[in-house]
Amino acid sequence: MDIFKKCYDWTEADDVRAANLYPYFHRLESRQDTEVMMEGRRRIMLGSNNYLGLTICDEVVEAGIKAIEKYGTGCSGSRFLNGTLDLHIELEEEIAKFLGREAALTFGTGFQSNAGIISALVGMHDYVICDRENHASIYAGCQLSYGKLLRFKHNDMADLKACLDRVPDECGALVVVDGVFSMGGDVINLPEVVRLAKARGVRVMVDDAHGLGVLGKGGRGTAFHYGLEKEVDIFMGTFSKSLASLGGYLAGDAKVVDYVRHHSRPFIFSASIPPANAAVALAALRHLEAHPELPERLRSLSEYARKGFSERGVRIRESALGLPTPIIPLYTYTTEATLVAVREVYNRGVYVNPVLPPATPEGEALLRTSYMASHTETQLDEAMDVIAGVMKDFPA
C-alpha cells in the first residue's frame, strides 16, 4: 500500500477550510507587538507568548543587528565542531548566574531542549514521570529516551505519589513538570512535587518556558516563586517567549550539564543557535535583569484582564492555586463553537488562539488569550469588549 494514501484520504483541514472556519496560518505583516497588521488589517494581539513585549525593544533589536554584522547570519555547524561562538558561552554563563546554577547549556529551540535533556538523562532502566498536561516536547524527549514513562493526572499529587511508588528502588527516576502550563495557564503544585520526589530520592525537572519572566523574583520562574530554587534539580526554559528570540536552555549542576552536553543527540547533531538569536536572547535577559518591574506589570495586566472578563460575564478558566498568569483561557466547549468564536473575534479585530482536542479533552475546547507587559488597559478593554460581544451568543 502507498504510504501516502493516508495523506490523500485525510480531509479534516479541507472540510474546515470549506466551512470558512480554518483558524491557522494567518499572515502576520508587521512586528510582534500589542497591535499587529495581519492580512491587511489592524488586530489587537492576544495570542502571542511575547510576555514582556521585548520583540520590539530598541536595545534588543539593535543587539541582533550588531550580531549579524559581526558574525554573519549563521554558524553552519554543531556546537561540538565549528558552531560555538563566544556569544553562546556568554549567554550560558549569564543564564546560569541569573538562575543561581553552576552551569547552563543552550539548544536551538525549546522543543529541542526538552527532547535533548530528557533523552540524555533517562536511560534504559530509568523512569520518567510526567504530568499528563506537560508540553508535547517533554513527551518527545520521553519517546527519544530508553526509559519507562509514567503519567499522573494533571496536578494530582495523590496520583503522582502512586507513580513514584511504582518506581523500583534500584532504578533512577526523573519527575518532569511544566511550571506554567501553556494551554490552561495554571501553575504546578511545585511544593508537593518536590516534597514527594525528594522523599523517594527522585530528581525534579521544571519546564519554565512560560514561567520565566512571569513568576518569581525578577521573573526568575516558578521555583523562585515558591522559594524552591535550590530544590529543583534542572531548570529548562526557552528564549522564544519572554526573551524575544529563539532557542532554549538547561540550567543545573555543572556535572549534569556537562553530561548532557556530551550525550544529548539533539544537541550534538544540530547546528548551534544563530548569532542574532543568541545576541537577542542575551540582550533580553539583561533587559529583564535591569527592569524587574516588567513581570510585576505583566501580573497587574493579567489580573486586570481576569477582572474585566468577569465583569463582562465571560467565563474564564481559573488559574489553579490562585496564581494569575498571562494565559487566560475562555470556555467555548465544543470544537465547532470554538472555530466560530475565533473567526468572529478575528473578523472584529482581535487575534486569539483556539485550543481544540486533543490539546484539551472533548467538550472542553477553549479560546487561549495571552498578554504582554506592553499592553495598555485601553487595548485590553477594546479587546475584551469584542470578545464579550462574540461570547454572548454562546451558552454559559
pLDDT tens-digit map of 154-208: 999 999 999 999 999 999 999 999 999 999 899 999 999 999 999 999 999 999 9
**Cα dist. 306→80, 324, 374, 378 in Å?**
47, 8, 17, 15
Average pLDDT of the segment spanning 358-384: 93
Does pLDDT of 275 surpass 90?
yes
Distance CA 341, CA 343 (A): 5
**Per-residue model confidence as pLDDT tens digits over 33-75:** 999 999 999 999 999 999 999 999 999 999 999 999 999 999 9
Query: Which of 284, 372, 292, 388 minimizes the C-alpha distance to 325?
Result: 372
Taking residue 382's Cβ as centre, other Cβ atoms within 10 Å add up to 15
Distance CA 82, CA 69 (A): 19
Distance CA 276, CA 65 (A): 7
Alpha carbon 378 to its chain's center: 27
> Can you give the pLDDT at residue 396?
54
Distance CA 343, CA 339 (A): 6
CATH 3.40.640.10 intervals, the chain: 58-290
Q: Who contacts 262 (Cβ-Cβ below 8 Å, separation ≥6)? A: 268
**Cα dist. 364→136, 163, 328 in Å?**
19, 26, 14
- Mean pLDDT, all residues of the chain: 96
User: Which of these ranges, 40-49, 104-113, 242-251, 311-320, has the smallest mean pLDDT?
Assistant: 311-320
Average pLDDT of the segment spanning 119-127: 97
Domain formed by 58-290, architecture: 3-Layer(aba) Sandwich (3.40)
Query: Which of 117, 262, 299 minimizes the C-alpha distance to 203?
Result: 117
> Can you give the pLDDT at residue 208?
98
Cβ–Cβ < 8 Å for 367, 353: yes
Q: Beta strands of 52-170 (E only): which ranges?
A: 103-107, 127-131, 148-152
CATH 3.90.1150.10 intervals, the chain: 5-51+292-391
Rounded to the nearest 5°, which phi and psi values hold at 161?
-60, -40
Domain boundaries 5-51+292-391, corresponding CATH code: 3.90.1150.10
Alpha carbon 22 to its chain's center: 24
pLDDT tier at 149, thresholds 50, 70, 90: very high
Query: Which of 204, 228, 187, 219 minimizes the C-alpha distance to 319?
Result: 187
> Can you give the pLDDT at residue 358?
84
Block residue for cell numbers 488569550: 369
Rounded to the nearest 5°, which phi and psi values hold at 358?
-90, 5
Distance CA 81, CA 229 (A): 33
| Helices and strands of the chain, counted as H and E runs | 15, 13
The H or E element containing residue 235 is: strand 234-238
**Cα dist. 136→111, 140, 182, 183, 368 in Å?**
8, 6, 10, 11, 17
> Can you give the pLDDT at residue 300?
96
Does pLDDT of 242 surpass 90?
yes
Cβ–Cβ < 8 Å for 221, 237: yes
Block residue for cell numbers 554573519: 72
pLDDT tier at 361, thresholds 50, 70, 90: confident
